Amino acid sequence: MRVAMVSEQASPLTASSGQHRHVAALSGALAGRGHDVTVYTRREDPRVPDEVDSADGYRVVHVPAGPPRHLPEDKRLPFLGEFGSYLRRRWSLRPPDVAHAHFWLSGLVTELAARDLKVPVVQTFHTLGSVRQRHRIAEPTPRPRIRFERLIALRASRVLAGSGDELLELTRMGVPRNRISVVPCGVDLNIFTPYGRAADRTAALHRLVSVGDLVRHKGFDTAIEALAHLPVTELLIACAAAPEPDEERRLYRLATETGVAERVRIVDRLSRPRIAELLRSADVVVCTPRYESFGMAPLEAMACRRPVVATAVGGMTDTVVDGVTGRLIPALDPSALARAVRPLLEDATLREVWGAAGHARARTRYCWPRIAGETLGAYRRAAPLTVGEPASSAH
């Protein structure tokens, strides 16, 4: 099958966000099955080649659309026409069997290019503007986003929801249930594994680890406040990116006011392998966002055989099985978090049992070969007349 993967703002050649890594892993898994995968992403660096063959077997095309530098979401809107025209010209020579768009901006350009060429379109939103607005997640979101997301979803041949929560959201938008497939994100089992080095720790203290970007909606304040009810316990907050200075100061100030400052530490600019080392060092991994469209941190912790306590929001209600791989608690409730964590800190056997169950679930339900297979199934439902055999060439 010839697959056109459209990821306008997230190149698979970088690993700066979950969407970048998702597109890279999915493209590699599909290419590994013999399918011809080309990823189209906006050129953000004038020095990169027009096309790059990745080590994982897929091709990346850098589309000229606007100035070749990074632009925030709202500044890329004027250049979507250029991007769509490029795709239409390229695909008119040899249309792909299916076009898979990631995020709403990619959905717009894919619709522009595919409509006249009768190319089936599969859409993954990754996160919906309506949900972020409802949960008051601050970001520079273009005003027409929510309206366009509904239009994209209704016109797509098939929509992939990352979780049951997103499935419900899409049906509320009017998307017919029979055009939605639930296909979650996968986890990198080569990096996130129990069998590796664990970060050093103080033997006298239990350790909680929480992972995510240092932004307010991730709910690290809930974990800090819970620490007041958990003596002889430290909290390590791990971030892949550089922290937001204001949020870092706010969290440290809260830790001081709560009387737990000496037991809270924020570490940032971490590689994925380093995050895995920190997860392996945890007694319990806590994930307490106000909202999370999917949430990779619980899944990565489970892959490292660690029990998880997470807020019952978004995709985490799918990944974490309450009472089997961890606990689900209400958001914004430090007392509930402390009550859920305490029995795990007191019972090493329970930690091991729940950690083992999480590890098994991560390896079977969220491995990339399975996710790739389910994605191919959705492609075939979107393009039923396409023979889904590996292709020999594509553009």
pLDDT bin (cut points 50, 70, 90) of residue 181 is: very high
Residue position matching structure tokens 């998880």: 308
Q: What is the mean pLDDT of residues 293-320?
A: 97
Q: What is the pLDDT of residue 17?
A: 77
CATH 3.40.50.2000 domain locations along the chain: 2-186+369-382, 206-366
Which three-class secondary structure state does DSSP give residue 101?
A: strand
Token pair in block for residue 232? 């002889």
Select from 137, 69, 130, 129 the least CA-distant residue to 105. Answer: 129
pLDDT-above-90 percentage for the chain: 88
Q: What is the pLDDT of residues 80-118, one digit of tens each?
A: 999 999 999 999 999 999 999 999 999 999 999 999 999
Of the listed ranges 141-145, 244-248, 254-258, 376-380, the least confidently predicted one is: 141-145
H or E, element range at 311:
strand 308-311
Mean pLDDT rounded to a whole number for the chain: 94
- The pLDDT value given to residue 140: 57
* CATH ID of 2-186+369-382, from 3.40.50.2000, 2.40.50.140, 3.30.430.20, 3.50.50.60: 3.40.50.2000
Q: Rounded to 5 degrees, what angle do the CA atoms 363, 57, 319 make?
A: 25
What gap in Å lies between CA 236 and CA 39, rounded to an integer? 36
Q: Give the mean model confidence (pLDDT) for residues 218-247.
A: 96
What is the spatial distance between Cα 96 and Cα 215, in angstroms, rounded to a whole number? 39
195 CB neighbour count, 10 Å cutoff? 7
pLDDT at 211 over 60: yes
| pLDDT of 194 over the 70 cut | yes
Q: What is the pLDDT of residues 34-70, one digit of tens each?
A: 999 999 999 999 999 999 999 999 999 999 999 999 9
| Prediction pTM value | 0.93
* DSSP secondary structure letter of residue 193: -
- Candidate CATH numbers 3.40.50.720, 3.40.50.2000, 3.90.1150.60, 3.30.565.10; the one for domain 206-366: 3.40.50.2000
- Residue of 95, 77, 90, 86 lying closest to 9 (CA atoms): 77
In the predicted structure, residue 387 carries a pLDDT above the cut 50? no
395 pLDDT higher than 60: no
pLDDT at 388 over 70: no
The DSSP secondary-structure symbol of 218 reads: G
pLDDT of 147 strictly over 70: yes
With cut-offs at 50, 70 and 90, classify the pLDDT of residue 141: low
pLDDT, one tens digit per residue, over 343-379 is 999 999 999 999 999 999 999 999 999 999 999 999 9
